[in-house]
A and B are shown apart, each in its own frame.
Chain A
Amino acid sequence: MGRELPPMHKYIIRRLLLTVVVILGVTLLTFLSIHLAGDPTFFYVSERASAEERQAARERLGFDRPLHVQYFDFLINLARGDTGNSLAHRVPAFDVVMERMPATLELTIGGFLLSTIVAFPIGVLAATRRGTMTDGTLMLGAMLGQSMPSFWLGLMFILFFGVTLRWMPVSGHVPFIKPLLEGRVDEALLNLPNAIRYLLMPMVAVSVYSISRNSRLIRSAVLEVLRQDYVVTARAKGLNERTVMIRHAIRNALIPIVTVLALQFAFLLNGVIVVETVFSWPGVGRLVFDAVNQRDVPLVMTAVVLLSFLFVGANLIADLLYGFLDPRIRLE
């Protein structure tokens, strides 16, 4: 009789199995979408190609096979770790995506950290000053932040900080994570100041919406908790306000916040497509956008699979954090 796995392990295994289902669903939808938009072969033949040449190209690229065969072949190859060659780049699609992934992670993680760090004090401050001028001003700012598209905001940043004031570089990227991952720590550290300089404007542009949304959410969550009896009790016991806020209010408000923050990470991954284009940021978002336009099926599918893993991973981390934040939540 084998030893029973701890509940946490079981939970993680169950979530990983669920991940497979999610990935299957996402890849199927992506695959159908890209094929419903027309025959990709037309992008990989000359305008002068005859019908015979087009058919030959279709066969060479494998687009002549029934869709379900193409999809199952993709899945089989995916299981073997082979997602095929990019049609436009003519090299393995996995390599193309992975060489862009560090830049996207820099932007996403930077945006995530910024939105969390900035949204928290704004939300808590607004909650503790509820109904005052401070609360009104902060929430008005949050509403404006949610209303501004990141594309427009990015261009305004470029115009004001890049062109008019010349304080910030207009566009471009200096790598930090990539040399770090490749073991070139010295280079990464040397690049860090410039990396931040180039990251700053796109990071702010990508996170303004999140900052606004998170600060409103944090305000609501904290307000909700502040109404609870245990907070009143804590105050009645004579605890100082700082202890009440940190030990009793904020910690209890964290669960809905963590849920949204995890989803926020996924949202930021989506949002970087536009911001990467505006700031010439060499990330996966821009790559996928181009690949969709070029009907580069293997590249789109590979990127979607990898991004799906990131999405699911972020949500898994959030789920695991629940147990840490609130011991009443069991993972069984």
Chain B
Amino acid sequence: MINLASRDILHGWGKFVFTGVGLGLLIGVTLTMAGVYRGMVDDARAMIDNAGADLWVVQQDTLGPYAEPSSIHDDVARDLLGQDGVLAAGNVTYLTMQIQRGGKDVRIMLAGVEQGKPGEPAYLVAGRPITRTHYEALADIKTGLALGERIKIHRQQYTVVGLTRRMVSSSGDPMIFVPLKDAQEVQFLKDNDALLNDRTRTAANPAFNRPNVPGLLDAVLASQISSHMVNAVLVHIKTGYNDQIVAEQIRRWKHLQVYTKGQMEEILVAKLIATSSKQIFMFLVILSVVSAAIVAFIIYTMTMNKIREIAVLKLVGAGNRTISGMILQQALGLGFIGFVVGKTSATIWAPLFPKYVLLIPADAILGFILVMLMCSLASIFAIRAALRIDPATAIGG
């Protein structure tokens, strides 16, 4: 039996292909939106995985350090080493900020880490780890920084000594790692004017300026220009220990909030990016509905342009199955072309997006099935219209 759908497509292939390309670009946008969502989730997971911690110790009653501000003393890390099951503990600070590079703003997440302790990037793709106590930095390659390049972060110049990959914040901002002390200074130290202002205000306070306590004012002033706060302590636990049990011990004895890796993932994926996910999901739904409407309209129009041919086919004995099959195959053909174009275009333009767009095969397979399903459903209107065509239309009078 002749395949009527393919013959019709070949006969007007230009129109069909251009329509497919148009639909494909729409499908490409839809696949990209799914990729943006996957990228956000992957960024969140990458941050947790790359931190290499088993537990996150943060300020009590907070979801810190990524989802809420958290501030704890940096000597907590030392205390935690005395807890049963704790192998290593490292102080970390995180600060999302903007730096200048080549006259352009680069949004980054600045992480302060202690050398050789949890919180450092898991691996480097170039260069070496931080070895000096100050003014060296490790940068994610997404920042565009090169080895040896000098960058200004607040008042200090830093030299990039190592490059990492996929070290991004949950918002997709690339990370720059600097020594903890430097990061604390960036995060907590005030500017010169503010310091002078604070000193004047403190000195004017009679409570700190008592004649019989000569060192008090100097001590208070000294405490104001140094910070011993960090955002979190990352903990490695010893092999064979249960993370939940160790976390519970820390909660009980240190009055701090502790999250396991699973809980932190839950916070990042389910809470922090939940609204963005819903936003993207809404876009996906709308794009899918628009795509379906366009396919339905195209197939319907194509069918209505063939009323006479369909009437003749029915008159000469073509069954409903033959007519429906022709329309359905054309809809599926259009969907197939659209999907190929969409997948190709999404693959081409995904790396151009400023944030990570993760196109995974499972989404592509699901997308293909949905496109085919959508095209099948969209063809129903055209099939119904075609089956209503009276074969008598072919005869005049």
A, B: real partners:
no
Q: Which residues of A contact B (CB under 8 A)?
A: none
